[in-house]
Amino acid sequence: MATDIVLSNAEKKTPQHIAIIMDGNGRWAQAQGKGRVSGHKAGVDSVRAVVQGARKAGIKVLTLFAFSSENWQRPEKEISVLMDLFMFVLTKEVKRLHKNNIRFQVIGDLNRFSDTLQKSITKSEQLTENNTGLVLSIAANYGGRWDITNAAKKLASQVQTNEITLDDINEDSLHKHTCLAQLPPLDLLIRTGGDYRISNFLLWQAAYAEFYFTDVLWPDFNESEFAQAIDVFDQRERRFGKTGEQVVNT
Ligand code: IPE
Ligand code: IPE
Ligand code: MG
């Protein structure tokens, strides 16, 4: 009996890196007859729940899409609430993350944020940089197209200064300049809120990720919903271009 348990644990494929498109806050709030803002506030509890779930499941990296490069097109009031919430999380929650040995980082084009917010981000990253537990990346003013363009620009500038030649530009060198390159590859991409699209999230990184879509709205997403997504991942067969037989026999 004990052997059975050991075997089944050994066979379980826990994803190392999970990313989440946390969608559905506005609809959740509307369904309750409240303003969109209350949905964003309620969404913070779901963030806490998935961080907890990720730690329990032994996930190495959790990347959360908090604000896309396209979200600047929303009403000014909503953007301002989202920025305040972000600031709140940075000042209040990061201490707790630090206590739990979590390494916090923000990915995205941070230049567009206020100086106060940028300073707070740097401070939080520095506070937690030597932590060895879960890596929590928050994608803010992030866009997959920006990420790839930015990497291309870095390589181009190295060609310009003769640090590298044109022939040094390949998938590996470009990859090294994209966000999250130093971390394990993305295994599972979850989207809540019922839409089936990537909305310019991790375009490069998701090349071979498994996708999991759920109708559950983000504020209703909890530890058990998260565990369910991990279970579904465990049942997937990842072939990376090979045949099913090849994969089974390796
Ligand atoms: C996701 O929820 C949060 C952000 C994009 C910041 P939404 O605000 O997009 O909620 P819906 O999709 O309108 O319900
Ligand atoms: C994606 O959600 C961005 C985040 C969850 C931060 P959106 O609500 O912005 O996506 P679209 O506009 O429906 O594609
Ligand atoms: Mg949405």
Helix (H) or strand (E) holding 235: helix 223-235
CB 203 within 8 A of CB 20: no
Q: What φ, ψ does residue 213 adopt, rounded to 5°?
A: -110, 135
22 CB within 6 A, ligand 2: yes
pLDDT, residue 11, reads: 62
Residue 100: which of 65, 54, 40, 64 has the closest Cα?
54
Burial class for 132, CB neighbours closer than 10 Å (0-12, 13-18, 19+): exposed
d(CA 184, CA 147): 17
DSSP label of 92? I
Decide if 23 is catalytic.
yes
Residue by residue, DSSP assigns 197-213 as: --TTSSTTGGGG-EEEE
pLDDT, residue 250, reads: 74
State in Å: Cα 25 to ligand 1 middle.
5
Atom from ligand 1 closest to the CA of residue 195: 12
Which tokens sit at 172?
């590996």
Residue 151: which of 173, 168, 167 has the closest Cα?
173
Which tokens sit at 63?
């990347």
Q: Which domains does the chain have, with CATH numbers?
A: 13-143+186-234 (3.40.1180.10)
What does the pLDDT profile of the chain (250 residues) look like in tens digits? 444 444 444 467 899 999 999 999 999 999 999 999 999 999 999 999 999 999 999 999 999 999 999 999 999 999 999 999 999 999 999 999 999 999 999 999 999 999 999 999 999 999 999 999 999 999 999 999 999 999 999 999 999 999 999 999 999 999 999 999 999 999 999 999 999 999 999 999 999 999 999 999 999 999 999 999 999 999 999 999 999 999 998 7
d(CA 28, CA 26): 5
d(CA 95, CA 125): 11
Name the residue of 21, 22, 25 whose CB sits within 8 Å of the most ligand 1 atoms, as the mutation to test its pocket: 25
pLDDT, residue 12, reads: 72
CB 201 within 8 A of CB 193: no
Catalytic residue among 9, 71, 170, 195: 71
Decide if 111 is catalytic.
no
